[in-house]
Amino acid sequence: MNDSTDCIIGPHDDNSVPVTSIAAFEEQLFTYYADLGIGDVSYGSDITLLVEFLKDDHPLFSQEVPIHIEPPSDNIPVAPNNYGYWAYDDTDAGFEQTPTFDWVELDPAHGGSNGTHYQMDDDDHEDIELPYTFKYHGIDYNQITVSSNGWTSFVPCYIDYFWNMSIPMYMGPKAMLAPFSDDLETIDTNNDGNIDVWIHVYTWHDEANGRFIIEWSRALNGYDEVTEETFEIILYDQNAMPTESGNGVIDFQYLEVEDVDVTKNYSTVGIESPTKNYGLQYVFNNVYAPGAAPLADERVIRFTTEAPDNYVAPLAVDDELNPHEFSLSPAYPNPFNPVTHLDLKIPTAERVKVTVVDILGREVAILQNGMMAPGHYKISWNGTNRFGKTVASGTYFSVMKYGEKTKVQKLLLLK
């Protein structure tokens, strides 16, 4: 903790949480309770408490206890990824970075009068030059690949991914922005080989306001080929919206959106690093990050490295991007409801399988199964089984296999 953090430990009451239990003497076990008040620290902060027991000024026991400040409600931003990007939506009241929905229509069929039109086929993409240099994860980019399936990448990508996955997505595009990654479709009404309904994408450099806009206009969702999705990305020039880090601010805006694709993981919304080792997942498979407001018409989400006031970053982040050894942090929160998270570090590319089993050892859910690149990852479990159904409260175990190594953690789901 730093000098600006207030820490108050008071007497135990009925709502306090057990801090630790230790064997002070060989046959004597006691439990100590404390109420811990931490003032002026933003949620999403990671702080460390040093717990020490002394006898006659001689240390008997000491241990560092990491604490992650969990969100109290949904009206707060999504906590940062490894690099430091936050996600603020229009429901996050009281934050300077909270965006306001302000739709910019580019499609002339719906009142737009600006922009370049790209008529896209099914599973198609366009490589587009940016009107100014845009910094993302500390790297300057001058072009962007735009996919018909609701995502872009600053690194050229020629595979037109139509099946969305969770973030980070090791097999997916690098430096990805995913406002609505899903299978969007064209339509051949007469089955004669001629496309009648295309996917329409528009771009426009709004010089007056220092922004570049990419709109997917009335694209049909491949789930039913009827539901229309209209959304856009806005990339802000540093001159128009400066940040301390120099990384550009990114807005996702939704004029009309329905996340209906129950057969293909619904949609994926979020951003991913150029290395694909980590990202900031807002929603995947209809499971939202803590603090994320559900997708809805006239929603806006802002991704920025500008943190809330009084945010406390981790005191030490060793080998964050290229760890030297395999590690799995304790699940947090635990006990939990509805979501718990596991942070893991992978030193070398290896096949990793993470499952959840019940107390009888029966497999409940598969959270990860495949090759993973070196890096730092966050894996979450939302208390559902492999079929998307909510499981009963009780004790479960996460089982992680990395090569020949296995780590097991106890999880307690409360309802």
Instruction: Provide the 10 A C-beta neighbour count for residue 72.
Output: 10
Q: Where are the beta strands (DSSP E) in 1-78?
A: 6-10, 17-25, 28-39, 46-55, 58-68
Going from the C-alpha of 252 to that of each of 27, 86, 129, 134, 281, the distances in angstroms are 59, 13, 20, 16, 13
Going by C-beta distance under 8 Å and a sequence separation of 6 or more, which residues neighbour residue 64?
48, 49, 50, 51
Q: What is the pLDDT of residues 68-116, one digit of tens each?
A: 666 555 678 888 888 889 999 999 988 999 999 999 999 999 999 888 9
pLDDT at position 61 is: 65
CB of 147 closer than 8 Å to CB of 112:
no
Q: Which residue has the higher pLDDT, 415 or 399?
A: 399
| Residue range 357-367: mean pLDDT, rounded | 90
pLDDT at position 57 is: 67
pLDDT at position 330 is: 83
pLDDT at position 16 is: 41
Going by C-beta distance under 8 Å and a sequence separation of 6 or more, which residues neighbour residue 278?
81, 82, 83, 168, 272, 375, 376, 377, 378
pLDDT at position 374 is: 78
> In which residue ranges of the chain is CATH 2.60.40.4070 found?
327-413
Quick one: tokens of 205? 């450099």
Among the residue ranges 2-16, 112-126, 223-237, 283-297, the one predicted with the least confidence is: 2-16
Among the residue ranges 12-16, 48-52, 211-215, 319-323, the one predicted with the least confidence is: 12-16
pLDDT tier, 15 (very low <50, low <70, confident <90, very high otherwise): very low
Going by C-beta distance under 8 Å and a sequence separation of 6 or more, which residues neighbour residue 39?
5, 6, 8
CB of 33 closer than 8 Å to CB of 21:
no
382: closest CA among 271, 290, 278? 290
| Pairing status of strand 350-358 against strand 363-372 | antiparallel
Give the pTM. 0.65
DSSP string computed for 241-280: S--SS-PPPEEEEEEE-----TTTTS-EEEEE-TTSS-EE
pLDDT higher than 80, residue 323: no
pLDDT higher than 70, residue 36: no
Among the residue ranges 145-149, 232-236, 244-248, 276-280, the one predicted with the least confidence is: 276-280
pLDDT tier, 12 (very low <50, low <70, confident <90, very high otherwise): very low
Looking at the chain, the whole-number percentage of residues with pLDDT higher than 70 is 79
pLDDT tier, 307 (very low <50, low <70, confident <90, very high otherwise): confident
pLDDT higher than 90, residue 337: no
Going from the C-alpha of 165 to that of each of 67, 205, 264, the distances in angstroms are 30, 30, 9
pLDDT at position 130 is: 98
Collapsed DSSP state (helix, strand, coil) of residue 208: helix
Q: Which residue has the higher pLDDT, 385 or 32?
A: 385
Q: Where are the beta strands (DSSP E) in 295-349?
A: 299-304, 327-328, 340-346
pLDDT tier, 316 (very low <50, low <70, confident <90, very high otherwise): very low
| Residue range 330-336: mean pLDDT, rounded | 85
Q: Does domain 327-413 have CATH number 2.60.40.4070?
A: yes
Quick one: tokens of 373? 């690149």
Alpha carbon distance 339, 333 (integer Å): 8
Instruction: Provide the 10 A C-beta neighbour count for residue 215.
Output: 27
pLDDT higher than 60, residue 153: yes
CB of 287 closer than 8 Å to CB of 380:
yes
Q: What is the pLDDT of residues 369-384, one digit of tens each?
A: 887 777 778 888 999 9
pLDDT higher than 60, residue 321: no
Mean pLDDT of the chain: 83
- Classify the phi-psi angles of 321: left when phi > 0, otherwise alpha if psi is within -120 to 50, otherwise beta: alpha
Q: What is the pLDDT of residues 116-140, one digit of tens each?
A: 999 999 999 999 999 999 999 999 9
147: closest CA among 133, 157, 135? 157
180: closest CA among 93, 266, 242, 99? 266
pLDDT higher than 50, residue 177: yes
pLDDT at position 244 is: 92
Q: Tell me how many degrees the CA angle 306-308-312 measures, rounded to the nearest 5.
A: 100
Q: Which residue has the higher pLDDT, 27 or 192?
A: 192
